[in-house]
């Protein structure tokens, strides 16, 4: 299936955001994962894109890879608009794609994880309409999957991601707080699956720990897996069998939610 443009009208710049579909054959209606590669809001890491979608295909999920806008072409809120528009587009065309419209997760690595977590609280605060039928459906993800995610702009942040996202070398404290996932959790926040390594030297594990604590306080279901060893950016972690189990652990969590 050909890539799906996110927006009806072209956006400024050479790069046009789009979804790359990875749909399983047959007539079975399945849950869906929207994959957001990481890259510090300055790129999109390929090992966190198509291989992830194929892995979740193997686990019985439809998937799409979101190719969203990044610095220097785009800054907040444009990457978030791309993510929210992607969810709306997939949900609006759920019957066509044989997707459960109530079982759409957004998955992100590193800064892509921030994109995923921000979709979990900005879904009703940022407009992501394009003048078609998708405007009428919700942009709220039904779950988030956060892989060594950048979550906080104030508590052990990955400052480079926020500088790229906001397009400035000196982001304002108020902006950083407003975009910190752990500060925007409430009872309506989607359930989350998180994994991280304790020795991640790029994005501290505190990002995941603090978000999990906020979810617990709000009574939102979550699963948190902290692996003791391993660097940042592992993706599917093919050389680390202890960590490579994370997609199966994630699928189990989603099944326990009724997916």
Q: Structurally, how many domains does the chain consist of?
A: 1
Please give the residue range of the domain that contains residue 107.
4-256
What pLDDT shows up at residue 234?
98
pTM value surpassing 0.95: yes
Distances from the Cα of 129 to the Cα of 62, 126, 137, 212, angstroms: 24, 9, 10, 31
CA 103/CA 120 separation, integer angstroms: 14
What pLDDT shows up at residue 142?
98
Vertex 192: Cα angle to 189 and 197 (nearest 5): 135
Where do we find the tokens 């709220």? Answer: 140
Domain CATH number, residue 207: 3.40.50.1820
Average pLDDT for 245-256:
98
Nearest residue to 108 (alpha-carbon basis) of 156, 161, 173: 161
DSSP string, 41-77: TS---GGGSHHHHHHHHHTT-EEEEEE---TTT--TT
Using the predicted structure, report yes or no on whether residue 109 has a pLDDT greater than 90: yes
Using the predicted structure, report yes or no on whether residue 108 has a pLDDT greater than 90: yes
């Amino acid at each position: 299936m050909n890539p799906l443009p996110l927006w009806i009208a072209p956006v400024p710049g050479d790069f046009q955001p789009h979804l790359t579909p990875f749909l399983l054959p047959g007539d079975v209606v399945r849950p869906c994962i929207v994959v957001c590669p990481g890259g510090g809001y300055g790129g999109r890491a390929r090992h966190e894109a198509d291989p992830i979608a194929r892995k979740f295909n193997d686990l019985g999920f439809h998937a799409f890879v979101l190719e969203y806008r990044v610095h220097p072409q785009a800054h907040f809120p444009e990457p978030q608009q791309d993510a929210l528009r992607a969810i709306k587009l997939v949900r609006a065309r759920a019957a066509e794609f044989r997707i459960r419209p109530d079982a759409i997760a957004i998955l992100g690595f590193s800064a892509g994880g921030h994109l995923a977590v921000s979709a979990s609280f900005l879904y009703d605060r940022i407009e992501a309409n394009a003048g078609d039928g998708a405007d009428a459906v919700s942009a709220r993800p039904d779950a988030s999957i956060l892989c060594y995610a950048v979550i906080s702009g104030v508590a052990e942040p990955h400052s480079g991601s926020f500088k790229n996202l906001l397009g400035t070398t000196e982001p304002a404290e108020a902006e950083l707080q407003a975009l910190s996932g752990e500060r925007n959790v409430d009872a309506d926040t989607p359930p989350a699956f998180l994994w991280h390594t304790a020795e991640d030297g790029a994005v501290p594990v505190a990002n995941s720990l603090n978000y999990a604590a906020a979810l617990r306080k709000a009574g939102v279901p979550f699963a948190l897996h902290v692996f003791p060893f391993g660097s940042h950016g592992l993706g599917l972690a093919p050389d680390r069998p202890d960590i490579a189990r994370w997609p199966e652990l994630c699928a189990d969590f989603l099944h326990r939610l009724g997916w």
